[in-house]
Amino acid sequence: MTRVIAIMNQKGGVGKTTTTINLGHALAIEGKTVTILDMDPQGQIATGVGLNNNDGLDRVLLDGAKIDDYIVSARDNLNIVSAGAQLSDFEHVSIGGATRGHKLRLAIEASSLKQRDYVLIDCPPSSGLLGINAMFAADELIIPVSGDYLSLQGLSRMMHILKRAESLAGREIKLWLVMTRMQMRRRLTQEVRSKVLKYFPGRVFTTAIRENVSLAECPSFGKTIFDYKVKSAGGEDYQSLAHDILQGRTS
């Protein structure tokens, strides 16, 4: 059974893309087959693994092209489908009514992705049509929450959107949270973590991703943390997060 997981938060800069790439590579290293879909027009998935942001989901969503024609191998067990330069145009598509929200789900169902162990979807920092498509395509959501108070404000809106998506889709979408960019010595960080644990009992992954300079450096070299510096806090944390996901380990 494929686990389709969207990494989503409307708040910018919380670590969605960093988590998608490094968690994807960690799961691939564990022997799982993983494909990452880049639903963010910023196109940082391809560049983050050292590839070009060539045509990809833009052609799939705008022209009805097949996902399978745009799957590119990135590492052992790890494939990607790029955003492509035109993906932002999809936010302005107005024809198609309610079916516009289901394009990604239908494209995945018509593809070979359902033979993979994991499909990870990197989402943009917005709640438009791209995010809606990711939500309808996903069985599970991972919401990265960074250790500052503004993160908490965005969460209640996310929950509202999730509940609406669930009622429209007529099924449950499993929710997970992961604390990111944690500065463990800051009191604020600990306060945010304990609030999130209180409001989402059993839904917060045990591993918290620490703020780590190597994680910030590696995309500029087209490397994941496992290519760049496996023995770093970032390498340890994303490997540990992969284990949380494999085992459903939460606090």
Ligand X SMILES: Nc1ncnc2c1ncn2[C@@H]1O[C@H](COP(=O)(O)OP(=O)(O)OP(=O)(O)O)[C@@H](O)[C@H]1O
Q: State the residues that interact with Mg ion by CB under 5 A.
A: 16-17
CB of 142 to ligand X, least distance (A): 12
13 binds, options ligand X, Mg ion, none, Cβ within 5 to 8 A by partner type: ligand X
Cβ within 8 Å of residue 240, ≥6 positions away: 206, 207
CB of 64 to Mg ion, least distance (A): 26
Give the interface size with ligand X as a residue count (CB under 6 A). 17
Tokens 């990265």, residue?
A: 144
Q: Residue 22 corresponds to which tokens in the numbers above?
A: 């490094």
Of 214 and 251, the one with the shorter C-beta distance to Mg ion is 214
Among 108, 209, 225, 242, binds ligand X (CB under 6 A): 209
Of 11 and 16, the one with the shorter C-beta distance to Mg ion is 16
Question: Is 84 a binder of ligand X (CB under 6 A)?
Answer: no
Diameter of the chain measured on Cα atoms: 51
What CA–CA distance (Å, rounded) separates 98 from 95? 9
Q: Which residue is nearest to Mg ion (CB)?
A: 17
Q: Is residue 172 classed as helix, strand or coil in its secondary structure?
A: coil
Q: Which amino acid is located at 206 in the chain?
A: T
Phi first, then psi, for residue 72 (nearest 5°) are -125, 135
Binding span for ligand X by CB under 6 A among 89-97, 151-159, 192-200, 211-219: 211-219
What CA–CA distance (Å, rounded) separates 108 from 234? 31
CB of 32 to ligand X, least distance (A): 21
Among 181, 193, 223, 229, binds ligand X (CB under 6 A): 181
Cβ within 8 Å of residue 146, ≥6 positions away: 11, 13, 14, 15, 179, 180, 181, 182
Phi first, then psi, for residue 126 (nearest 5°) are -160, 170
Phi first, then psi, for residue 69 (nearest 5°) are -75, -10
Of 178 and 188, the one with the shorter C-beta distance to Mg ion is 178
Question: Is 215 a binder of ligand X (CB under 6 A)?
Answer: yes
Do the bridges between strand 174-180 and strand 140-146 make them parallel or antiparallel, or are there none, so unpaired?
parallel
Of 84 and 219, the one with the shorter C-beta distance to ligand X is 219
Binding span for ligand X by CB under 6 A among 106-114, 157-165, 166-174, 212-220: 212-220
Q: At what angle are helices 129-137 and 149-169 packed, to 10 degrees?
A: 60
CB of 239 to ligand X, least distance (A): 14
Question: Is 116 a binder of ligand X (CB under 6 A)?
Answer: no
**Mask: binding to ligand X, 12-51, rule CB under 6 A, as x and -?**
xxxxxxx---------------------x-----------
- Interacting residue ranges for ligand X, rule: CB under 6 A: 12-18, 40, 125, 180-181, 209, 211-212, 215-216, 219
